[in-house]
Amino acid sequence: MTDSTPKTKYELVCGMEVHAELKTKSKMFCGCKNDPFGAEKPNIYTCPTCLGMPGGLPVANKTAIEWTIKLGLALGCKINLFSKFDRKNYFYPDLPKAYQISQYDIPFCYEGVVETSEGPVRITRIHLEEDTGKLQHKTVDGKKVSLIDYNRSSVPLIEIVTEPDIKSAKQAKEYGKALRQVMRYLDIADCDMEQGGMRLEANISIRPEGQEELPDYKVEVKNINSFRFVEQAIAYEMERHDELLEAGETPAQETRGWNPNKSETFSQRTKEDTEDYRYFPDPDLPPIRFTQKRIDELAAEIPELPKAKAARWEKEFGIESKYAEQLTAERPYAEWLETVFAIAEKPNAVANAIVNKKVTVSEGEDPTAVAKKVADLSKTDDVDTSELVAAITKIKEANADAVEKYQNGDTKVVGFFIGQVMRVLGKKVDPNVLRTTLMKELKK
């Protein structure tokens, strides 16, 4: 590469779409069990509705709707009091009805925000839809086939869409983690990334630094199942776009996948026809209307979220924020820990000891026991003054030169004497008592 002209510096313009499966007991539009990962066999949690059999009809799960609204409220979203479900029509073997029940123009939630260390990421909308069945590709009897399991078909799925506010690959990762943390705090989704319970999609483009308008292209990288991969995929794409733009080309507007083995994205087969989902209001599902009172009730049910909890801990228990941030990560753990703080004499010492792994504790352990373990770290033995004085006298005799040094004003030797006293006594002495007694004796 010749370096005669200064290279254009580019910045990332990225929005994300995150899908997460809600952990309701039953599916979104039928009463089948919602446990696709726990199912022992394929196709055991189905009925005419989620199998798309003739005459199967959807009835929406109230809890799934309320949880979606709670998530919206937790992310500062506005709520559409009137909403509805629409059909998104397309053909794919994992979509039994050939339409996905989703929300088109009136999502439950809109205009929220997730704060990150690199600035706010605005939430455009949160809507509720249903998941598809699961496809596996295999060779059976020498024939390449796809196998379908509909246990996951019609499991409630929320989609969270952001504005293109993400400025770095790292921020994308942070955003995803923050989102997962909130969903776990609300106890509405497990967000098991390995299993596909939470799936990330990044809409990536870059523009020269300082440019105001959005780039004229966008690459979607779909179905990423880890935060590390989303960070890597964005970094990979940024570099790829940079090279293309430098060569005078515009990256193709397309959907790409992430290959974790090769650590690179790859172009996915694009449909010949542009997507046309022919959305229309689902005639099988009456619309939904909430009262502000009900929304307020739901808001009241939202638990304290990590950031607020950390701030309160600092105020109430004097927990330093560097500890609080780590210790509030998971809600059940944080709630248990708080019961320890409540009875501990020095809560911040507990936080310090746990974060720095000075003690081993496990969630649910008796708070008193934990407090004791931490207190034990700084516990001293009872030492009789005469015993102490006797030990000092003995040491003074053996180290006359050091005593002389001290009496001549060299206070550095105090440390030496402290060490000696501890060794001789073989006990943990209260440092204050030791120091005062020692100085008094040395002056003699």
Interacting residues with other proteins (CB under 8 A) = 24-26, 30-34, 41-49, 51-65, 87, 89, 91-93, 96-99, 135-137, 140, 144-150, 259, 266, 269, 272-273, 276, 278-281, 283-289
Comparison of 147 and 343: residue with beta carbon closer to other proteins? 147
By three-state DSSP, how is residue 297 classified? helix
DSSP 8-class letter at 330: S
Cβ neighbours, 10 Å, residue 290: 17
Comparison of 33 and 240: residue with beta carbon closer to other proteins? 33
Comparison of 279 and 333: residue with beta carbon closer to other proteins? 279
What is the distance between the alpha carbons of residues 320 and 314, in angstroms, rounded to a whole number? Answer: 6
CB of 249 to other proteins, least distance (A): 24
Comparison of 97 and 396: residue with beta carbon closer to other proteins? 97
- Scanning the structure block, which residue is given the tokens 């307020």? 296
CB of 204 to other proteins, least distance (A): 21
Comparison of 148 and 418: residue with beta carbon closer to other proteins? 148
CA angle (158, 160, 165) in 5-degree steps: 170
CB of 285 to other proteins, least distance (A): 6
CB of 137 to other proteins, least distance (A): 5
CB of 164 to other proteins, least distance (A): 23
Contact 330, 184 (CB under 8 A): yes
In Å, how far are 75, 305, 348 from 180, measured between CA atoms? 12, 12, 27
- Scanning the structure block, which residue is given the tokens 């030990």? 391
CA angle (92, 221, 238) in 5-degree steps: 165
What is the distance between the alpha carbons of residues 15 and 234, in angstroms, rounded to a whole number? Answer: 11
What is the distance between the alpha carbons of residues 22 and 127, in angstroms, rounded to a whole number? Answer: 12
Contact 386, 416 (CB under 8 A): no
- Scanning the structure block, which residue is given the tokens 């205009």? 111
Comparison of 98 and 439: residue with beta carbon closer to other proteins? 98
Comparison of 65 and 109: residue with beta carbon closer to other proteins? 65
Q: 254 phi and psi, to 5 degrees?
A: -160, 175
CB of 160 to other proteins, least distance (A): 21
CB of 215 to other proteins, least distance (A): 24
Buried/exposed code over 392-428 (b: 16+ C-beta within 10 A; e: otherwise): beebbeebeebbeebeeeeeebeeebeebbeeebeee
CB of 201 to other proteins, least distance (A): 18
Comparison of 135 and 308: residue with beta carbon closer to other proteins? 135
What is the distance between the alpha carbons of residues 172 and 161, in angstroms, rounded to a whole number? Answer: 13
